[in-house]
Amino acid sequence: MEYFKICGGKKLSGQISVHGAKNSALPILASTLLIKGESVIHNCPDLSDVRVTLDILKSLGCKVKREKSTVLVDASVVDNNEISEHTMRTMRSSIIFLSALLSRQGSASIFYPGGCEIGTRPIDLHLKAFHDLGADVSVNGSSINACATSIIGTKIILPFPSVGTTENIIIASAISKGKTIIVNPAREPEISDLADFLNHCGAKIYGAGESTIVIDGVKRLDACEHTIIPDRILASTYMSLGAVCSKELTVKNIRQSHLSPVFPVFTEMGCKIYLSDNSLTLVSPKKLKRVRSIKTMPYPGFPTDSQSPVAVALALAKGTSILQETIFENRFRYVSELNRFGTDIEIKDNIAVINGVDKLHSANVNATDLRGGAALVVAALCANGESNIYGIEHIDRGYENLENALSSIGADIKRSKNEGETNAKASKKEIE
């Protein structure tokens, strides 16, 4: 099993670049199924979740090619409408193919993606939306079969601005009869990026990023080229790292507006943020200040995906901070591993009480999920001494070549392989 070997305690500095957004690439790649031609997607990150998505497209009959950060998907021929249960459980966001297959093939056979480390991840809102759009959806155990002779536009009021559900409705109704109106949609930038891609292909999607989205169904879409937006969650992870491990760090390839929900937290911690066109420079104070209270919310609120790396910064701030998670029921699972580094974080229900400490010490830990794993990397880079982080397959889902990116700003981090040690418990080194 691979693991990260990190020698922490070094001051990092320089410039680090942000790659394309995972949570934009996945729905956009799935939606290329709607197009009988070759879509060209630039700035597509090379992540394990993206590779699974490209494998699904190939299994459905598409021709897929990657040229550096550009991916070409030719969906002229699609001759399959099934996705295996193993694949669905490997990457639960493959639920996004339900809309693409229904639209292209008129039917889809998939499976319940199942929960993951951060929550049960139900799909009730997705299934109800497909029903509202005129699809016949049957669930039998863990298998889901859906068919629709044609998708009929309708008004859908979402009780919660679910990102995946909003994306599934947009993809399902881009090619359809009539008009679909989504009330209370998710407003994340990734929704707007998906709408931009589909509109470049000839769709008529209005109001993405706002409180109501209107989709005038069209008959067909034509292939186009599209550049994926920068990954705002990766950028906020680098900002958290900069806040605790560097005096000054420049993060390149950002969209300022996408990061506006996190800027106030870093300025309240005492960081100075200097913005230029598509980059920011974060200057950190000698000692970070606590943040009285942070609550994760749907965009444009503070993102749930940014909370774990920010928790590391707060763990080294002066004073006590309160971090409330409102999106996922189990998103603090990383805290027990984080406390092995000497942080002092107590969890009560969905609230983390973070008591700042002076410094962290090395530890051997297991990553349990993608963003929690990133937080452990940040902690290991702050901690004096050598730490090992196991379970980095979680991290590889959303952070491309993280060790190379971090090495470019002076981090001492290596990807190692050791058949024997599969997790922190098996490692020889005494766990603190």
* Active site members: 116
For residue 134, state whether it binds ligand EPZ (rule: CB under 6 A). Answer: no
* Spatial distance between the Cα atoms of 223 and 202, rounded to a whole number of angstroms: 9
Q: CB under 6 A: which stretch of 52-60, 81-89, 158-166, 206-214 binds ligand EPZ?
A: 158-166
* Spatial distance between the Cα atoms of 145 and 133, rounded to a whole number of angstroms: 15
Q: Which of 362, 368 has the CB closer to ligand EPZ?
A: 368
For residue 121, state whether it binds ligand EPZ (rule: CB under 6 A). Answer: yes
Applying CB under 6 A, which of residues 328, 332, 390, 399 lies at the interface with ligand EPZ? Answer: 328
174 touches 167 (CB < 8 A)? no
Beta bridge partners of 143: 111, 140
Residues within window 11-30 making contact with ligand EPZ, judged by CB under 6 A: 22-23, 26
Least distance from ligand EPZ to the Cβ atom of residue 376, Å: 14
Residues within window 69-98 making contact with ligand EPZ, judged by CB under 6 A: 93
Least distance from ligand EPZ to the Cβ atom of residue 420, Å: 30
Applying CB under 6 A, which of residues 54, 163, 181, 262 lies at the interface with ligand EPZ? Answer: 163
Closest residue (Cβ) to ligand EPZ? 164
Structure tokens at 191: 């929704």
Q: CB under 6 A: which stretch of 124-132, 350-358, 373-381, 386-394 binds ligand EPZ?
A: 124-132
* Spatial distance between the Cα atoms of 114 and 96, rounded to a whole number of angstroms: 14
338 touches 345 (CB < 8 A)? yes
**Beta-strand runs (E) in 210-363:** 212-216, 225-227, 246-252, 272-276, 279-283, 293-295, 320-324, 344-348, 351-355
Q: Which of 160, 274 has the CB closer to ligand EPZ?
A: 160
List, in sequence order, the alpha helices (H) in 121-280: 124-132, 163-174, 189-200, 232-245, 256-259, 263-268
Residues within window 196-255 making contact with ligand EPZ, judged by CB under 6 A: none
Q: Which residues bind ligand EPZ (CB under 6 A)?
A: 22-23, 26, 93, 119, 121-126, 160, 162-165, 186, 304-305, 327-328, 370-371, 398
